[in-house]
A and B are shown apart, each in its own frame.
Chain A
Amino acid sequence: MLSPRALILRGPGTNCDHETAYAFERAGGHTKRIHVQALAQSPSLLDDFQIFCIPGGFSYGDDIASGRILAIELSERLGDTLRRFHERGGLILGICNGFQVLLQTGLLTPDSTSGKQAATLTRNVSGRFIDCWVRLQATPGNCVFLRGLDHFELPVAHAEGRFTTADKTFLQQLGSHGQFVLHYAKNRDGQQTNPNGSEQNVAGMCDRTGRIFGLMPHPERFIEATQHPAWAGRLDPHADGAGLRFFRNALRVIGKDLG
């Protein structure tokens, strides 16, 4: 059986590429980190991969808005390449900054009626960057990355993660198509863990095929138990973290396709 291969995109300001590659490798995949300039020059590089991942970071500094410049670059120079990649069965994953990028490329919401970007990730209600752990609830539907996941914890680390849409109708439309597959949930004390004020506690969403998925939390930061803030003396330090499931799921789906 061929081993699935994941392309980890990097560019100026990407900073979670190494640990994201490590997560795919721990899950049994092969990875390559490729600079966006190199990919834009030779889009056929993508032909050898079944997974395309935009990891976290501050692409181009996020100086104008998170992910804005990389999203423009991907749309202008690689838009058709990515659509064809998706059509031939490829999986696309955007984590944190990668989610912000995906949303602005329109790949997650190609069905937006106006043709304009109608959903966004904007400044946290607090106005500040926050790094903390949240409790999440998955309602996977057809999202291949979340199969078998229910409640679990992951860390978030962002300043612009508040999901919002231009109008309520569009929000309802996305919900009714089952695209909101990951929500911030209450912790065991019954407190809501939504860290940014996202509408409907949305933490992640997929496209209608379930093969493009973006989320603000960082699954690659909970691959092993020792990454959890309360592991010491409580968890088996060699146990897997919940985040590993995301990467295993993706590889399993591709593995079946590859036969």
Chain B
Amino acid sequence: MLWEVDVHDRQHDTTAQDLVTAANDLGFDVHTAHAATGWLIEGDMDFDEVRRIGTRLFTDPVTEVCRVAKVGEAELVSMPPGAEETHNLILHVLPKPGVTDPAAESAKEAMALLGVNATAVRSLKKYWVPAECMTSEQVAEIAWKRLASEAIHEVIIGPLTLSRLSGGSRWELKREHVRLNGLNDSELEELSRQQCLALTAKELHAVREHFNSLGREPFEIELETIAQTWSEHCCHKTLGSPIDHIGPDGESRYDNLLKETVFASTETVREQLGPDDWCVSVFSDNSGVVRFDGDHDICVKVETHNHPSAIEPYGGAATGLGGVIRDVLGTGHGAKPLANLDVFCVAPLNTPAKTIPPGIIPPEKLLHGVVAGVRDYGNRMGIPTIAGAVAFHSGYLGNPLVFCGTVGLMPRDSADGRVEPGDLVVVAGGRTGRDGIHGATFSSIELSSESENQSGGSVQIGHAIHEKTVTDFVLAASEEQLFHAITDCGAGGLSSAVGEMGAELGAEVDLEKVPLKYDGLSATEVWISEAQERMVLAVSPSEWPRLAEVARLEGVEATPIGTFTGNGQLVLRWNGESVGDLNCHFLHEGRPRERLRSIFTPPQHLPVRWSLENENFETVLLELLRSEDVASKEWIIRQYDHEVQGKSVLKPLLGPMGGPADATVIRGVLGRPRGILIGIGLRHHLGTIDPFEMAVGGIVEAVSNCIASGADPERIALLDNFCWGDCRRPDSLGTLVEACRGCYEAAVTLQAPFVSGKDSLNNVFTWKDDAGVVKEQSIPPTLLATAIGQINDVSLCVSSDFKRAGNRIAVVGISTTELGGSQLGVIGRITGGDIPKVDLKNCQNAFKSIYELNQQRLIASCHDLSDGGLGVALAEMAIGGGLGADINLAKVPLDDTDDLAKPDELISLLRVACAETPGRFLIEVKEENTSEVDRILHGSTWSWIGTVTNDSLLTIRCGEDSIVTQTLVRKLATAWREPSTAQTHGKS
């Protein structure tokens, strides 16, 4: 029997309003609609039972009414109760079969609490639309554009005609060899493409030789396991390759690029630190681990989830966050997640619709989708999403970037998980379904306008509450030391998780024991499914009974599915019959390495050209504040619970008027003074101009964020996330090599070791234009640098908002006036220009000075200078504090005194006020502390430039007597908030 319960809101039908808004936006004249949240319930139950469930479980007695009937009955398509108009077009939006439906899963569990057992439940949204306003096709168009996602939804116009929800029958064992012998290279590549393996012909040669030595062809499941393990996503295929590089300084050879740059910088720093080395576990576990206090270590990881988010933004971002949370949970013997960060790179929101190729989700819809995904997952997990950024560039149109990160806390010295022979392979958490098949290999393939159709199966939908309960379970089991090692099921699913844990020992797995969401999955599908919210634990048989008890208490399903053996073979079985038998050494070491070539030719130097007509200093400053990269992200920040867990000390918006923070800060442990700082650096506008300086500048920006808020410069850990275009092309790989070199230089000079990282190297989008010509677009080379700082006592943290009129303002650090890649270019006021070269030694000196000033409580506020330079930073400090300032541009210390600002030359003023030289700070100092500040900064490059005022004006002079601009702080604030306000009041 299939029942439907429709729940109608009697007060504010916001669901219907969404449809009306969408219709109006798309040019349809619609004023009213009705909507319902519906539940399809399959099971052996009568009307009264469903009625009871409907009113008790699904309906708010105050604001809602419900209607219950069997699917197909006329009542379900008649007008909703209380509706006055007649709207006879009916639209249903519901998840496709097999797509995770968290609300339906919760509903099914809750029904059981009330004594009604359904065999299946599915949720839906239902709309009644006036037929005289639109045709069925037009309603469908609105649905697909605004209300539904092709990857996960079905849209049905008219009455539902379903008769059952559950389907599928148990898979019957089939074993088929995949024939590799006799195929030429192009046939091998075709095989790889068809099966979504992302293996090259050369790699398939290695596979063929290996199996020929065994006297057989591989089974499908074996080939899939190899494809997952050898994917770019799971091993640093490109970054770990030997490379012959030709750069501006001549030729160089790398045997392993990553080891010789990023890893090498960490080794160098650790050697120099000697006995004071505070790294614990770097680049080996699921996240990087460093020392924190006497009782705890902290760990951190940042991941990308670009391709899934391009196709299904909400699900892609949510599961991206879910995945990185599990990375932290799956580190050592399990760590408690403390804070999340998210960074999105998207095309400008005003990208004209007609320039958007088919198959691409418009940037505004995409951004709202990824924000909602992080919001719904992070908030439900009870982990504050406290740091982040949104970066805009037209190059991200078809291939947006979604970074999610998590910081965790673990007991000191618990970072070394070790699997023992004889340990049980235990899978815990969510059940396995067809979600996310081929996610790992899919992310290693370029996106195309066809991806939505081809790769729907690789989209995962998260179920945060399953992840929350599995987190509670893991932390409880960890406290009792009930397992030897743990990892998460991420890309590649069980094949990667069990494969990695058993890389040395080997394992035997009985795949039919894996709990399934629904029947019908083949052994291969079970093995490579990327269904979310699952962890794999190595558990001694003697601890298993207690672990099972803890799982039961926490309401988590935990199932032994095999054993770690010690014979070095990965054996897969189905009901006792072997379906795959792989040598672990071949699986993990057998990939042939390819020597790659890379070239970097610096782009042609273009002199800076100005585009100024009627502009003055104030109009340009207001344009900069409105620029998407610079403007307030309040509409996003307020949707995230950034205060849960009670540990936040510096939040993303600070001061009485909510100005922007530099780093955000949390306590490690409630009631204890030691704090963790999160800083983010992203110089994406420099990527195509100078990848080396992009890397260095991004790292300096991330570290500067932390320093400005009070971090100890001797305790800063870094993370790298490289997102690049097609690195099979030597010029693209060349920019990657240059960025890696930049990472090495910055990390070693600043003594800030990299502890973890991740790369995503196939961010290319292809489509056919109107004439049928294949077009291709790569993202700009993008390095996200994340800095994790520490402070001994959070009461010493400093915020960026001005505190009191009469306090003095100084700029610390040396300013240069190169404008290439700056926000002045983004707002269209310049083209070309050199980019500022970072002087890392100078930066390091500034970091030490600021730290000393902070530790002696001499700074009232501090802000690092980044996008928009000095002018924007001043404005932000004034906005946060609701106070004015009066500063003199002529006093800003410049690298080249020829660049001095001249009062009557707008260009010279803008060069000083808007250059983005990294590693500089504005500080606010009480009058009584000025002589002490003078003493500490003696020998550094710095200068007093003005004072904080209570006249609510930002006054900028050039020389004592020449006022360049006087602008109301309120006007600056309005400009800075304008893009955010538009999103808050816009679509949701």
Contacts and interface: CB of A to CB of B under 8 A. Distances in A.
Q: Do A and B actually bind?
A: yes
A129 B644 CA distance: 14
A221 B57 contact: no
Nearest to A157: B641
Contacts of A62: 380
A60 B464 CA distance: 10
A232 B798 contact: yes
Contacts of B106: 60-61, 63-64, 69
B649 A226 contact: yes
A60 B797 contact: no
Contacts of B554: 35
Interface string A87-130: 00000000000000000000000000000111110110101111
B214 interface: no
Interface string B640-663: 111111111111011110100000
Interface stretch (B58-66, B155-163, B488-496, B610-618): B58-66
B963 interface: no
Contact of A129 (B14, B60, B641, B646): B641
Interface string A62-102: 11110011001100100000000000000000000000000
B605 interface: no
Max chain B C-beta neighbours (<10 A), residue from A19, A116, A117, A118: A19
Interface in A234-255: 234, 237-238
Contacts of B382: 14-16, 57-58
B153 interface: no
Contacts of B57: 64, 68-69, 72
Most A C-beta atoms less than 10 A away, residue of B640, B656, B670, B860: B670
Interface in A10-47: 10, 12-16, 18-19, 22-23, 26, 35, 37-38
B645 A19 contact: yes
Nearest to B642: A131
Given A61-B106, A61-B380, A122-B11, A131 B643 contact: yes
A132 interface: yes
A229 B645 contact: no
A61 B641 contact: no
B465 A18 contact: no
A72 B63 CA distance: 18
Contact of B799 (A123, A155, A232): A232
B57, B110, B554, B658 pick with most chain A CB within 10 angstroms: B110
A131 B114 contact: no
Contacts of B381: 15
A12 B468 contact: yes
Q: Interface SS of chain A: helix, strand, loop or mixed?
A: mixed
A183 interface: no
Contacts of A2: none
A64 B654 CA distance: 34
Nearest to A122: B63
Contact of A72 (B110, B639, B642): B110
Contacts of B113: 69, 72-73, 76
Given A12-B468, A130-B639, A238 B795 contact: yes
A128 B639 contact: yes
A68 B59 CA distance: 9
B45 interface: no
Given A221-B646, A227-B646, A131 B639 contact: yes
Nearest to B381: A15
A131 B640 contact: yes
A130 B638 contact: yes
Given A130-B639, A132-B638, A233 B799 contact: yes
A1 interface: no
A92 B646 CA distance: 21
A116 B468 contact: no
A120 B60 contact: yes
A252 B379 CA distance: 33
B988 interface: yes
Nearest to A73: B113
B891 interface: no
Nearest to B796: A237
A212 interface: no
A76 B57 CA distance: 12
A207 interface: no
Interface hub of A19, A221, A229 (most chain B Cβ within 10 A): A229
B693 to A, nearest CB: 32
Contacts of B468: 12-13, 15, 58
A131 B382 CA distance: 13
A23 B656 CA distance: 25
Contacts of B12: 123, 125
Given A60-B109, A122-B11, A125-B12, A13 B795 contact: no
A26 to B, nearest CB: 7
The residue in A61, A120, A128 that gathers the most chain B C-beta atoms within 10 A of its C-beta is A61
Given A35-B553, A63-B106, A165 B643 contact: no
B553 A37 contact: yes
A218 interface: yes
A15 B644 contact: yes
B469 interface: yes
B658 A118 contact: no
Contacts of B34: none
A69 B105 CA distance: 12
Given A18-B670, A22-B646, A129 B61 contact: no
B861 A60 contact: no
A117 to B, nearest CB: 5
A254 B120 CA distance: 47
Contacts of B105: 63
B341 to A, nearest CB: 16
A76 B110 CA distance: 12
A64 B103 CA distance: 6
A138 B103 CA distance: 36
Contact of B62 (A57, A164, A232, A238): A164
B911 interface: no
A230 B654 contact: yes
A233 B988 contact: no
A6 interface: no
A226 B464 contact: no
A166 B109 CA distance: 29
Contacts of A116: 61
B643 A232 contact: no
Contact of B103 (A63, A125, A130): A63
Interface in B13-29: 14
A229 B553 contact: no
Interface in B342-385: 375, 379-382
A61 B102 contact: yes
B801 interface: yes
Interface in B49-72: 56-58, 60-63
B920 interface: no
Interface in B457-491: 463-465, 468-469, 472
Contacts of A120: 60-63
Interface of B: 11-12, 14, 56-58, 60-63, 102-103, 105-107, 109-110, 113-114, 375, 379-382, 463-465, 468-469, 472, 553-555, 637-651, 653-656, 658, 670-671, 794-795, 797-799, 801, 803, 860-861, 988
26 contacts: A10-B472, A15-B380, A16-B645, A18-B645, A18-B646, A18-B670, A19-B645, A56-B644, A57-B382, A60-B109, A61-B102, A61-B103, A61-B463, A63-B465, A64-B58, A65-B60, A68-B57, A76-B114, A164-B11, A166-B62, A226-B649, A226-B794, A227-B648, A229-B654, A230-B799, A233-B860
Given A61-B106, A232-B650, 5 more contacts: A64-B57, A65-B60, A69-B110, A125-B12, A221-B646
Interface of A: 10, 12-16, 18-19, 22-23, 26, 35, 37-38, 56-58, 60-65, 68-69, 72-73, 76, 116-120, 122-123, 125, 127-132, 155, 157, 164-166, 218, 220-221, 223, 226-227, 229-230, 232-234, 237-238
**Which 6 pairs between the two chains have the least Cβ-Cβ distance?**
A15-B382, A19-B646, A237-B795, A232-B799, A63-B103, A61-B465
